[in-house]
Amino acid sequence: CDSLKIITERDQISKDTNTNATILMKIAIRFYLCSKKVILQEKMSKDSFNWLLGEIKSRFDKSLSHPGEMVGSIAAQSMGEPATQMTLNTFHSAGISSKNVTLGVPRLKEIIN
């Protein structure tokens, strides 16, 4: 898990950014590849486990995009469409005090962070 790096600089801000950006990936790896599951349920050998870790690392490295690189219209749509829908839903529930959910731009900020 420690070899998953997005930013290679060694200053504190870069270290914090790497930690924040890879924390969910590390949690998923530790959850799905814990020793009890790997040894008892999956009956993996050491060689197959090392191959799996190498495959995860190589796919992680392939998934990184460089700053300024176009990531595609699907990624833009995945952010834009829910934001638009949340804004429209905010207008439908305007004036209803019993509805206690966060909608619109504050909800989008909550999702991103």
Q: What is the DSSP string of the chain?
A: -TT--S----SHHHHHHHHHHHHHHHHHHHHHT-HHIIIIIS---HHHHHHHHHHHHHHHHHH---TT----HHHHHHHHHHHHHHHHHHHHTTT-SS-----SHHHHHHHH-
Query: What is the dihedral angle through the alpha carbons of 47, 49, 55, 56, rounded to the nearest 10 degrees?
Result: -160
CA 112 to chain centre: 10
Task: Give me the residue spans of the domains in the chain.
Answer: 12-63, 75-112
pLDDT in the model for residue 55: 93
Which pTM does this prediction carry? 0.53
> What is the predicted pLDDT for the residue at 26?
86
Tell which wins on pLDDT, 27 or 69. Answer: 27
pLDDT at 113 over 80: no
Q: Which value, to the nearest 10 degrees, does the dihedral of the CA atoms of residues 101, 104, 105, 108 take?
A: 70
* Residue whose pair of structure tokens reads 């898990």 in the numeric block: 1
pLDDT tens digits along 19-65: 888 888 888 888 999 988 888 888 989 999 999 989 998 988 888 87
CB atoms within 10 A of CB 103: 18
- pLDDT number for residue 95: 58
Q: How far apart are CA 63 and CA 57, in angstroms?
A: 10
**Residue 1 pLDDT > 90:** no
